[in-house]
A and B are shown apart, each in its own frame.
Chain A
Amino acid sequence: MEYIAKAEVGAGGSVGMVFNAIPNTFTDLYLVTSHRHEANVIDGQILVNGSGGSRRALYSQPTTSSSVPPAAVTSGIIGIFGNIGSRTADTFATNTVYFYDYNAAKTHSVTTRSVESNYDYAAFQGLVTSITSSSAAITSIEIRSTNGNLAEGSYAVLYGILKGSDGVTTVS
């Protein structure tokens, strides 16, 4: 796994973080984020090549005994979640997002694991499967809130993953 680039939100916040001109020299892409929304919304979204897609999500909270049923398919969104603004100050949600075979000229499956942080209780967790509407090789990825800014200190790091020497293994 090789570091490609990092984006970080500065003072005053920004609605999104964008990686453009992503090199085509890897097999897969791996995105790690730590981000928080200033507004009281948990939903963020990812744009691939400037477009959304559709997603389906599973949600849970560790202090809730019953699981929440899968959400309906949501069109327009590739899923990612951020800490909502009402959570404990300076807590951030962590997300890992995997983009498989990103150089292929086809729609791309995207897997997101998301966990909020609130120190002492009830962090929201989500597991999301998405598919892009773009069917081109991925050259641009944007992470953004659906309402309001991402808080200062939010960041995203993009990594590239190379296939193994056997031509099959996807991690080196």
Chain B
Amino acid sequence: MADRPTKVVIDCATGERQILELTDEEIAEREAMAAQAAQEEADRQAAADALQALKDSAKAKLIAGEPLTAEEADTLVL
């Protein structure tokens, strides 16, 4: 069985340092947060990929003399 997660706790009033195990509630909350963080990372990567794809498409159309979509044009506005 894996060790129970811990946290380092500092009491600023006394300077006391403790290593405390997480409660069941804290562990459950962290698991939910991990799922949210993974989803956000996926969303962030998807947004970056989509923007790059629009820029690539806009560049190709400019070179070819083809009309851009509004979305593609937006990537070129400074």
Residues of A within 8 A of B48 (CB): 66, 68-69
Is residue A137 within 8 Å, beta carbon to beta carbon, of the partner chain? no
Min Cβ gap A60→B in Å is 10
Among listed A2-10, A88-96, A127-135, A161-169, interface-contacting one:
A2-10
Contact (Cβ within 8 A) B11 A20:
yes
| With known contacts A74-B36, A76-B36, A147-B37, A15–B22 Cβ distance under 8 A | yes
Min Cβ gap B20→A in Å is 8
Contact (Cβ within 8 A) A21 B30:
no
Is residue B41 within 8 Å, beta carbon to beta carbon, of the partner chain? yes
| With known contacts A68-B44, A68-B47, A68-B48, A15–B30 Cβ distance under 8 A | yes
Contact (Cβ within 8 A) A71 B9:
no
Is residue B13 within 8 Å, beta carbon to beta carbon, of the partner chain? yes
Q: Indicate with 1 or 0, residue by residue over B33-71, a CB within 8 angstroms of chain A CB atoms.
A: 110111011011001100110010000000000000000
Interface hub of B5, B14, B38 (most chain A Cβ within 10 A): B5
Q: Indicate with 1 or 0, residue by residue over A138-150, a CB within 8 angstroms of chain B CB atoms.
A: 0000101011010
User: From B34, which residue of chain A is reached at the shortest CB distance?
Assistant: A147
| With known contacts A66-B52, A66-B55, A15–B7 Cβ distance under 8 A | yes
Contact (Cβ within 8 A) A77 B11:
no
Contact (Cβ within 8 A) B47 A18:
no
Residues of B within 8 A of A7 (CB): 8-10, 17
Contact (Cβ within 8 A) B43 A14:
no
* Option from B10, B13, B19 in Cβ contact (under 8 Å) with A23: B13
User: From A139, which residue of chain B is reached at the shortest CB distance?
Assistant: B12
Not counting A17-B8, A71-B47, A144-B30, a sample of 14 additional A-B residue pairs whose C-beta atoms are within 8 angstroms of each other reads A4-B12, A7-B8, A12-B3, A14-B6, A14-B7, A59-B44, A68-B44, A68-B47, A69-B47, A71-B44, A76-B33, A144-B7, A146-B37, A147-B37
Q: Which residues of A contact B (CB under 8 A)?
A: 4-10, 12, 14-23, 41-43, 45, 59, 66, 68-69, 71-72, 74, 76-77, 142, 144, 146-147, 149, 158
22 A-B contacts (beta carbon < 8 Å) = A5-B12, A6-B10, A7-B17, A10-B19, A12-B6, A14-B7, A14-B8, A15-B5, A15-B30, A17-B10, A18-B10, A23-B12, A45-B33, A66-B48, A68-B51, A76-B33, A77-B37, A144-B7, A147-B30, A147-B38, A149-B5, A158-B12
